[in-house]
A and B are shown apart, each in its own frame.
Chain A
Amino acid sequence: MESAIYYTSKKTFWQKVKEQKELVFMIFPFVLYVILFHYIPLWWWVIAFKEYRPYDGVWGSQWVGLQQFRDLFSDSGFWLAMRNTIVISFLKLVTSFAAAITLALMLNEVKNMLFKRTIQTISYLPHFVSWVVAASIVIGALAPESGVVNQVLMALKIIKQPVVWMGEGHYFWWILAISNVWKETGWNAIVYLAAMTSIDPELYDAASVDGCGRLQKIRYVTLPGIAPTISMLLILNVGWLLNAGFEQVLLLRNPLVQDYAQILDTYVLDYGITMYRYSYATAAGMFKSIVSILLVLFANKVAQKLNASTVV
């Protein structure tokens, strides 16, 4: 290895590029591809400062300065979408973390491998079906007459009349959170299970010697063992705070719950694609992207700080 470093360090940058031209040749088209599909679209942000008309083109359209943003921030619909986005992502964040950690803790207590593997295989199956299929299942299960949820609740005498679950705004937030838990918990639990396998078995033996029971071992060994993973994932999820789940909301929403279902992504879709207000929708999308990037940067900073302090 050392001789290799000595050998290459004598060469200039371009000599090395030339020497590795095959690797450059291999990856270069994809660098261009990524620039085209991920960086060039940023250029269209310019239309957020214009009144874009497809016929006039980007350059022919008139500059309007910050007018689109002024309109956006004075629209009560936008702030409603903002509220819904934050409430929905927060609700989903809390429920999905709690569910995944609980499932991982329970699976970790199972000693029968066949049982464990069977439950795991079942639990991540919904992750692989589309939200279209999941939404179809949710709508079917919540149907007023034939839906299994109403049938079970009526059989248990918890409710007397069938409830129109999909017709009430407050329920809608919980429907999103719970259907998300149903679909993703098994999948999300994988990373915690992986973290649990790396806990030193000696810690459990030591805890036994100290007289800890099963629950105390979970409390004093397992949970602290996965705490770094939990905090890391929580911090990284901050960057997703303005993503309430575009597909899920789009598929499950209906006119009755519109005031609770409009999120930033559907707001952009409704104004941009459906009403052709490209500039206005771009301003909304740009606002969302910039806030998200700031959140990611903030989260990374915090993660680095925490990581550094736990490692040192």
Chain B
Amino acid sequence: MLRKKTAEDIIVDLIVYVSLVFVGIVTLYPFVNVLAVSFNDALDTVRGGIYIWPRKWTLKNYEIILTNPQIYNATFVSIARTVLGTVLGIICTMFVAYPLSRKDFVLRRPFSAIMVLTMYFGAGLIPTYLLYRSLHLLNTFSVYIIPALLGMFNVVVVRSYIESLPSSLIESAKIDGASEFRILWQIIFPLTLPAVATIALFIGVGHWNSWFDVYIFNSQRPDLSTLQYELQKILASVSMQVGRNPDYQMGAMAETQQVTPTSVRASMTIVATAPIIMVYPFLQRYFVKGLTLGSVKGE
């Protein structure tokens, strides 16, 4: 339908495009600024005025954090829990989502009630802490993996996706004598890949971003610390000095070590964020569909 643009059209378009460009800048600028600061000389940064480009280019900030054995180790733990947690999480989600997607499954109703109810309540922090303690999960690597094996929201997303596949696929496979396990992994799983990509992103990001479980359950074990927790520790030490400028405060330290909290925080932030920014463009075309499908059915 072709028609002339009215004055209103032009004004609306103008407001919309200008506002959206503003939204884009406000959202993206903090990341660009952190990136610039992370590549700028620490002492030079104290003078202020770093916006989108480093003034005195250096890799020193990264060198400092990546050669720190504590942070090097934390990076390894973060990668380990993300990879292991995501792979196991996907397998477990499939084992739950597939039976629940089968309309003819006799135990579908009671089992899905037991599972879905957990989305709406929690016992609270202390009971959870006491449970983990009695299961000897405290101060272990397993506390990252085992309690997070199943996310009900992810189960709902995958289940809805499987339900949208033609049920004749399963029936004909059964006639051919395939076991349920075989149907799940050789027929359903490959067809469910878009949903799996969505939940892989959710599970992976969840693991990579998690710091609270480190803080509560594993704070006695520096060897099990993660990147996000290390960043949180830096942040907490800066937070204690609100009201004064941390850059000036740490001036003396800066002179000798060529490092300031601002610079270390910037490079840590980039290291903690980069993997997500790198994978998410590849997965994002799936998640909008996966999410809307899941949320509509989930309600």
A128 CB–B CB distance under 8 Å:
yes
The B-contacting residues of A in range 1-60, CB under 8 angstroms, are: 4, 8, 13, 16-17, 20, 22-24, 26-27, 30-31, 33-35, 37-45, 47
Taken together as a complex, chains A and B put the C-alpha atoms of A135 and B212 apart, in Å, by 14
What residues on B are CB-neighbors of A131 within 8 Å?
A: 209
Name the B residues within 8 Å of A144 (CB-CB): 243-245
Are B235 and A20 in contact, with the CB atoms below 8 A? Answer: no
Is residue A289 within 8 Å, beta carbon to beta carbon, of the partner chain? yes
Closest A residue to B10 by CB, please name it.
A214
Main secondary structure of the interface of A (DSSP, over half): helix
CB of A65 closer than 8 Å to a CB of B: no
A44 touches B114 (CB 8 A): no
The answer to whether residues A35 and B114 also contact, given A23-B105, A137-B269, A292-B121 and a CB cut-off of 8 A, is yes
What are the residues of chain A within 8 A of B13 when measuring CB–CB? 109
Q: A257 — nearest CB in chain B belongs to which residue?
A: B242
Verify B131–A37 contact, CB threshold 8 A.
yes
Asked whether A30 and B243 contact (CB < 8 A) given A186-B27, A236-B299, A288-B124, the answer is no
Answer whether A268 and B114 are a contact pair too, CB < 8 Å, given A205-B1, A255-B240. no
Q: Which of B98, B266, B288 contacts A26 (CB 8 A)?
A: B98
CB proximity to A under 8 Å, residues B234-264:
235, 238-240, 242-248, 262
Chain B positions within 8 Å of A128 at CB level: 201, 205, 209, 276, 280
B106 within 8 A of A: yes
B101 to chain A, nearest CB (A): 10
- With beta carbons under 8 angstroms apart, the residue of A20, A273, A288 that contacts B106 is A20
The verdict on B58 contacting chain A, using a C-beta distance below 8 Å, is no
Known A132-B228, A167-B242, A213-B6: A289·B124 in contact at CB below 8 Å: yes
Report chain A residues within 8 Å CB of B96: 27, 30
Answer yes or no: B115 CB below 8 A from chain A CBs: yes
User: Do A269 and B211 touch across chains, with their CB atoms under 8 A apart?
Assistant: no
Looking across the interface, which residue of chain A has its beta carbon closest to that of B233?
Answer: A132
Candidates A26, A31, A285; contact of B184 at CB < 8 Å: A26
* Contact mask for chain A residues 186-217; partner B; CB cutoff 8 A; 1 contact, 0 none: 10001100100000000001001000011100
A126 and B125 form a contact (CB under 8 A): no
A62 adjacent to chain B (CB < 8 Å): no
A window 269-288: CB within 8 A of B: 269, 272-273, 278, 281-282, 285-286, 288
B-side contacts of A146, CB under 8 Å: 46, 48, 245, 247, 262
> Which residues 174-193 of A sit at the B interface, judged by CB distance below 8 A?
182, 186, 190-191
Whole-angstrom distance between the Cβ of A217 and the nearest chain B Cβ? 10
User: Who on chain A is nearest to B28 by CB?
Assistant: A122
A137 closest partner in B (C-beta): B30
Known A-B contacts A132-B231, A273-B216; A24 and B107 likewise in contact (beta carbons under 8 Å): yes
Check: B102 CB closer than 8 A to any chain A CB: yes
- Do A293 and B180 touch across chains, with their CB atoms under 8 A apart? no
A161 CB–B CB distance under 8 Å: no
Docked CA distance A192–B181 (Å): 38
Which residues of chain B have C-beta atoms less than 8 A from A265's C-beta?
125
Whether the Cβ atoms of A285 and B111 lie closer than 8 Å is no
Q: Which residues of B sit under 8 angstroms from A31, Cβ to Cβ? A: 111, 114-115
B220 CB–A CB distance under 8 Å: no
Nearest residue in A to B246 (C-beta to C-beta)? A143
* A64 located at the interface, meaning its Cβ lies under 8 Å from any Cβ of chain B in the complex: no
Given A128-B205, A139-B238: 10 more A-B contacts, CB < 8 Å: A47-B130, A110-B20, A128-B209, A131-B209, A132-B211, A133-B209, A135-B235, A136-B269, A182-B27, A253-B239
- B residues contacting A by CB (< 8 A) are 1, 6, 8-9, 12-13, 16-17, 19-21, 23-24, 26-31, 33-34, 46, 48, 92, 95-96, 98-100, 102, 104-107, 111, 114-115, 118, 120-131, 147, 149-150, 179-181, 184, 201, 205, 208-212, 216, 228, 231-232, 235, 238-240, 242-248, 262, 265-266, 268-269, 272-273, 276-277, 280-281, 284, 288, 291-292, 295-296, 299
CB pairs A–B below 8 angstroms (15 shown): A23-B107, A26-B180, A27-B95, A27-B111, A30-B115, A38-B118, A41-B128, A122-B24, A136-B231, A151-B48, A164-B243, A205-B1, A215-B12, A239-B120, A281-B125
A residues with a Cβ closer than 8 A to B are 4, 8, 13, 16-17, 20, 22-24, 26-27, 30-31, 33-35, 37-45, 47, 103, 106-107, 109-110, 115, 118-119, 121-126, 128-133, 135-137, 139-141, 143-146, 148, 151, 164, 166-167, 182, 186, 190-191, 194, 205, 208, 213-215, 232, 236, 239, 246-247, 250-256, 265, 268-269, 272-273, 278, 281-282, 285-286, 288-289, 292-293, 296, 303
